[in-house]
Amino acid sequence: MQSVLEIQNLSFGYAKESLLFSNFSLKLKKGEIKAIVGASGAGKSTLFELILNNLKPHSGVIKVSSCSEVFQDPYSSFHPSYTLIEQISDVAKLDEIERYLKNINLDYELLLKLPHELSGGQLQRASILRAMLMKPDLLLLDEPTSALDNVIQLEVMSMLIKHLDRMGMLLITHDLDLAKWCADEIIMI
């Protein structure tokens, strides 16, 4: 399978004398889910910022294919002045939208609303919908189901797993049971 993310000998810290990562390496292929698990402040979200090139490593190499991301806070993922469908159609084709909506238990009518008109769980599912419609090679998931109840969490994760044939997924979670259930490998940091 094709590699969608390669991290080689990554070193990074906000202060050079206190590194979050020292010679950290990771390889993720299409068809795989790897979970990053660790305490708050361990560097899980920082790793995503490095992968997205929002932060520069002190040393090491990060090679990444096309990617989209789902962040923990869905309210920061959408502009408050535009409907969800406007924001989704700006970055993705809507050709598979009906199938995804059914899989994540979300009504199309909700996408015609502004972000503040939805619950946190509905907005998080819209964020996952947008990321999937972008058809990335790599999907970065930062606590993607923390705002969802257990039944919807299972439905969403099952839907994501069904699409592993076309992408790889890197999941940040505090939920070790979720990581054990869905990940091919768990990386503790």
pLDDT digits (tens, 9 = 90+) for 33-90: 999 998 888 888 899 999 999 999 999 999 999 999 998 888 888 999 999 999 999 9
Backbone angles phi, psi at 9, to 5 degrees: 55, 45
**Domains identified in the chain and CATH numbers:** 3-188 (3.40.50.300)
Q: Taking a C-beta distance cutoff of 8 angstroms, is the pair 155, 143 a contact?
A: no
pLDDT digits (tens, 9 = 90+) for 113-166: 999 999 888 998 899 999 999 999 999 999 888 777 787 788 878 888 888 888
Q: Taking a C-beta distance cutoff of 8 angstroms, is the pair 61, 8 a contact?
A: yes
Q: Taking a C-beta distance cutoff of 8 angstroms, is the pair 42, 174 a contact?
A: no
pLDDT digits (tens, 9 = 90+) for 7-27: 999 999 998 788 989 999 999
Decide: helix, strand or coil at residue 102: helix
Return the amino acid letter for 118: L
